[in-house]
Structure 1
Amino acid sequence: MKRLPYLFLGFLLVSVLPIQGLAIPVQLADTTVALIDKPVPVGRRTPRQQDIADLAGRWFPRLPITPHDSSSLRDGKRFVLIIPQIGYTLQTRGLAAVLVNSPFRMANANMSSVTGQLSYTQNHQIILTATSSIWSQNNRFLWTNDWRLMHYPQATYGLGMYTSTDRVINMDYAYFRFYQSLLRRLAPNLYGGLGYHLDLHWNIDSYNSRREVTRISRYENGVEGRSVSSGPIVQVVYDNRKNAINPAGGLYLNVVFRANMSVLGSDNTYQSALLEARKYVHLPGNSKNILAFWSYNALTLSGDPPFLDLPSTGWDNTGNVGRGFIQGRFRGKNLLYAETEYRFHLTADGLLGGVVFANAQTVTEQTSGKFEKVVPAIGPGLRIKMNKVSRTNLSIDYGFGFDGSKGLFFNLGEVF
């Protein structure tokens, strides 16, 4: 146990080294300066903002660590955060991963981010992901993608809110996700466009402690063999946040309609919708502390999705719905979720911060089709500033679910 602090410090040191070989020159707007400290007026002693690169530079002055500042960005340098991780999560047990993140800003545009991660877990899960949210110059276009390739043995607990962690069904499968969309600005902060979503599962094998199963909670679509959901999407986004990595205010609205079609390879024809909202306010009003709200609602409008494509805990695009519960804990045709989080500074220089959060979720029951039970979760969290220019934090949270679930959760960037 005594070695863990040194291992963690080593990971932080690696994360702040700039990778020039991966750099792609971009033009940066003057608004980048707003993300770092402004000159301190005479008579005030406001500490200059710090991040892990500043800390490592003081502790290890001989290492080739380049500070994160606006001048280095204007020179065309791209900072790539490389963060090796070891840890433990409810769905993976032991975890070893390498996460690569590159935040940048086009001219007169919101902050963009490209992230990739490769993970291997104690449950023999292999996870490769690549996600991005790229704003073009002047915020004219928004390009997003979510690609995943996974071998993912995982426990499931059935459908509805009355399931128990004592009755586990194990599922072993391979998964390929290809989500892509291109949105165009329709009005200030309002975007609309089209995309394509593909969820492909194969080698699906479901079994309990005694035998293989062909249905779960009386649902047999996509429980074994292979399942495909494929269809176009129509998406509308309103976003007046300046930095989605760590919003300091603003409103985000996201509406997605998806039409899965057999003509495009989908097993079944069904329609689904996603309704999402995020709001950020300063509390107190003259402070940098943020009170954030998140509503995430995934609905099946018609038809029967494959089992693994039903809305479920922890299976949103960021994997953050339901902090405090194991991934896949609750699953149903419709999911409603709400969360609030209070974010505050622990140090005046912004290096360390903290959060407290609370959330609640519910899914419809398979027999009645109604929402009958709501389960909440609460928890605290720590924030470590990895890059003061993009305001990228390493998020470490511990959640307690009110069904007895609990666990540690990591993110690069804020949870929402």
Structure 2
Amino acid sequence: MRKLYYTSLLIFIWCIQVNAQTIFNSGAAVHSVYTGVDSLLERDLVDVTHHLFHKKNKLSTDTTQKNEQHHKYNLAIVPAVGYTLQTGFAGILSANIGYFNTGSNKISSITTSITYSQYQQTIVPLVLNIWTKNDKYNIVSDNRFIDYPSSIYGLGGRTDPNKGHTIDFVGLKLHESILRSVGKNIYAGVGYYYDQFWNIKAINLGTRRINTIITKELGYDEIASGPVLKFLYDNRENQINPTQGLYANFVLRNSFTFLDGDQNFKSVLIDVRKYLPFPHKYSKNTLALWSYNWLTLSGTPPYLLLPSTGWDDQYNTGRGYIQGRFRGRNMVYLEGEYRYRISRNGLIGGVVFANVENFSGDLSQQYNTLLPGYGLGIRVKLNKHSGTNLCVDYGFGKNGSGGFYVNIGEVF
């Protein structure tokens, strides 16, 4: 997964950028991802590396402008090493491509990474968000393979952090969808979601009774399979690092036994994000607001597919708590983050954030257990064209919970 709870910071980072000629219109000028920001004045880790190792061949604005006019694809590759109690030492290789299609005002992106840990854990995502010519269609493909242990603590927001249990499993996620423009920045479409977990087993448990209970609750494999309906409003010009605009995503998911799912269930996801220049409309700093609501409408999803801390599509909710710390039939989540520049050229930035989440058994229960989190972080610009940052945060939660969180790209 992209996010690891680091007890030590990254110890090695290397970024390269490859600009490839566009196959659509090699002679056309390509605008920067940053609306209203002159990318010639921006700097990223590529520029720093170029300056350090090619001092005699400085990257002039003329050269940059020439490349801007004849090149379109921007690739950032970032190897890193980290350490967590959950994974031990881990080697990570991440890659991100950002580009515009002809007539498109929205950036298309392809993101992947490979993580292999000291404990032989493997995490491989491949995520595509493609906008076709003139933004007529939006193709979203979210695929992930995971093989690693995970902690579970039971259901609800009042579980004891000292009574968690570790389970091991292999997981496969295949979420495919296509949406068509039905109005300005408005899209509607369909898709198919398939999730499978297998080889589920409890490890390092003190008693056979606990092992029996967990095995009975989870089984040895879990499958959810079925169609989805999607509605999207998105007027952000840069989906990788938004500085203004509104994103609203509605997903109605169905899983059916006749499509190989373990149980029939229906759930809904309502994901709303707002981005504002702050403190004034010309500011290069951003106030980002996030509402993430994951609700079970009917039936009972498999245990590992119930709403849970850090188990959203990007594994980013609940900074301040370990992944899987809280779980329930319904999840309501709110977060605010202020993103500000430290260096004028955009190379270094910082953030402060706060969030609150709640888990309940059903919609009729009173939401009386609020779980707050807060923290701060640093940003290093990896790719000034796509706006991709290396994000290193430290979050705090209740009862002494806390840890490092590392992402390639913003949390939301």
User: Is the TM-score greater than 0.5?
Assistant: yes
Q: Does 1:231 align with 2:226?
A: yes
Counting only pairs closer than 5 Å after superposition, residues 8-407 of structure 1 correspond to structure 2 as: 8=12, 11-12=13-14, 15-18=15-18, 25-27=23-25, 32-33=31-32, 35=34, 48-61=41-54, 69=64, 71-76=66-71, 78-89=73-84, 91-109=86-104, 110-207=106-203, 208-211=205-208, 213-215=211-213, 220-221=216-217, 223-285=218-280, 286-365=282-361, 370-407=366-403
| Bigger RCO of structures 1 and 2 (CA < 8 A, at least 6 apart) | 2
CA distance 1:199–1:353, shift in 2 (3 Å): same
- Taking the aligned partners of 1:274 and 1:69, their CA distance within structure 2 comes to 42
Counterpart of 1:44 in structure 2 is: none
Counterpart code for 1:396: V
Counterpart code for 2:124: L
* Structure 1 residue 370: Cα displacement: 4.8
* Structure 1 residue 31: Cα displacement: 6.2
* Structure 1 residue 62: Cα displacement: 6.8
- Taking the aligned partners of 1:350 and 1:215, their CA distance within structure 2 comes to 52
- Taking the aligned partners of 2:219 and 2:56, their CA distance within structure 1 comes to 53
| Deviations 1:79-126 (CA, angstroms, capped at 9, x unpaired) | 321111111346434321111111111123201110111111234321
Kept in 2: contact 1:336–1:363 (CA 8 A): yes
- Taking the aligned partners of 1:301 and 1:50, their CA distance within structure 2 comes to 47
- Taking the aligned partners of 2:35 and 2:241, their CA distance within structure 1 comes to 13
Counterpart code for 2:265: Y
- Taking the aligned partners of 1:122 and 1:394, their CA distance within structure 2 comes to 23
Kept in 2: contact 1:53–1:66 (CA 8 A): no
- Taking the aligned partners of 1:132 and 1:191, their CA distance within structure 2 comes to 17
| Deviations 1:307-361 (CA, angstroms, capped at 9, x unpaired) | 1010111111111011111110101111111100001110111111110000011
Deviates more, 1:248-257 or 1:383-392: 383-392
Counterpart of 1:43 in structure 2 is: none
- Taking the aligned partners of 1:16 and 1:63, their CA distance within structure 2 comes to 19
- Taking the aligned partners of 2:33 and 2:127, their CA distance within structure 1 comes to 26
Counterpart code for 1:95: A
* Structure 1 residue 168: Cα displacement: 1.8
* Structure 1 residue 405: Cα displacement: 1.4
- Taking the aligned partners of 1:260 and 1:329, their CA distance within structure 2 comes to 25
TM-score, normalised on structure 1? 0.88
- Taking the aligned partners of 2:65 and 2:269, their CA distance within structure 1 comes to 37
**How many residues are treated as equivalent by the alignment?**
398
Kept in 2: contact 1:32–1:70 (CA 8 A): no
Deviates more, 1:314-323 or 1:150-159: 150-159
User: Could you list the runs of 5+ residues in structure 1 that have no partner in the other structure?
Assistant: 41-46
- Taking the aligned partners of 2:257 and 2:37, their CA distance within structure 1 comes to 56
* Structure 1 residue 132: Cα displacement: 1.2
CA distance 1:188–1:238, shift in 2 (3 Å): same
* Structure 1 residue 220: Cα displacement: 4.8
- Taking the aligned partners of 1:267 and 1:374, their CA distance within structure 2 comes to 32
CA distance 1:53–1:209, shift in 2 (3 Å): same
Kept in 2: contact 1:206–1:224 (CA 8 A): no
Counterpart code for 1:356: V
The percent identity for this pair of structures is 38
Equivalent residue of 2:31, what SS? helix
- Taking the aligned partners of 2:358 and 2:70, their CA distance within structure 1 comes to 49
TM-score, normalised on structure 2? 0.89
Kept in 2: contact 1:118–1:129 (CA 8 A): yes
Counterpart of 2:3 in structure 1 is: none
CA distance 1:240–1:381, shift in 2 (3 Å): same
Kept in 1: contact 2:33–2:387 (CA 8 A): no
User: Could you list the runs of 5+ residues in structure 2 that have no partner in the other structure?
Assistant: 1-7
Counterpart of 1:408 in structure 2 is: 404
Counterpart code for 2:400: G
Superposed structure 1 runs of 4+ greater than 6 Å apart: 36-40, 62-68
CA distance 1:350–1:39, shift in 2 (3 Å): closer
